[in-house]
Amino acid sequence: MAITFDNRVAIVTGAGGGLGRSHALALATRGVKVVVNDLGGSVDGTGGSETMAQSVVKEIEAMGGEAIANGANVTKQDEVEAMVAETIDRFGKVDILVNNAGILRDKSFSKMTMDDWKLVVDVHLHGSATCTKAVWNHMKENQYGRIVMTTSSSGMYGNFGQTNYGAAKAGLSGFMRTLCLEGAKYDIRVNTLAPTARSRMTEGLMPEEILEKLQPEPVSQGLVYLVCDDAPNRTILAAGAGGYAVTKVVETQGVNFSEGEATAENVAAHWDAISSMEGAEEYTNGGQQGAKFLGRIAKGEFAK
């Protein structure tokens, strides 16, 4: 089945280089009109210039595509709203939003300043929320939207020296899960990409022989699927080195204790049963967890 895009318009943040550039080019190759957003700052978030975004626009135009550059700072609500307004004025609508912009300020938590913490969370988590908020009601009115967050293995599994980055990336997957519930009846599908790819943010973290195997283009092909008409919903797609996998959060069956038996000692005594993965389930809304435990009370099912 060929994946095609019929008159679609996308905003890709952080698209002046690395993965964002790759995403923008992959979409433009398939006929998507692209707003190439990039503040043009350094990896740590300092500085700024639209030159990087303009360079990508020239690449897209050279291959016959349509694109405009935008230098909005994703943490500034007024600049993001102006970007969305410009997109609608130029192309008539916004169908796709790819929240890709990000920075790094890696340090162990003991050495990290709260300014470093706040800035990284602001760009990744608040920036994605700001951009999503700016297109959300527009997508609802159009009864169509495709939104992708960018998470990381650091957010799902942890990585030394990245408490700020990991917390922000974990927050994005939670943001996605609730947006899916609120956008379902409007055909707004929200997914999350967990990439492993060569970029300005990874070049100082991995040896060259590894980076050579982590080109961004295969990751962007996964992104293309996540924003197409037949896209999945509420999915975390891990992608890197030509490999693709889905990350899921599941909950064990666990146990219930009868009245008076819910003690720390019994939690310790039944830990193997509580943590057993047998029968683990993936839930699609928060109420399912409570329903599981309350359902056992109604049935009189308690740990022995």
Report the run of H or E that residue 192 belongs to, with start and end.
Answer: strand 188-196
Which residue among 144, 157, 165, 244 is the active-site one? 165
Candidates 132, 21, 114, 14; CA nearest to 73 is 14
CB atoms closer than 10 angstroms to residue 183: 19
Q: Which two tokens stand for residue 222?
A: 């996964």
Angle (nearest 5°) at CA 4 between 184 and 14: 70
DSSP label of 203: T
Quick check: is 144 catalytic?
Answer: no
Report the run of H or E that residue 150 belongs to, with start and end.
Answer: strand 145-150
Q: How many CA atoms lie within 13 A of 287 on its CB side?
A: 2
Candidates 199, 105, 100, 98; CA nearest to 146 is 98
Q: Which two tokens stand for residue 49?
A: 């210039």
CA distance 153 to 9: 29
Residue 100 burial by CB count (10 A; 0-12/13-18/19+): exposed, middle or buried? buried
Residue 114 burial by CB count (10 A; 0-12/13-18/19+): exposed, middle or buried? exposed
Catalytic residues: 165
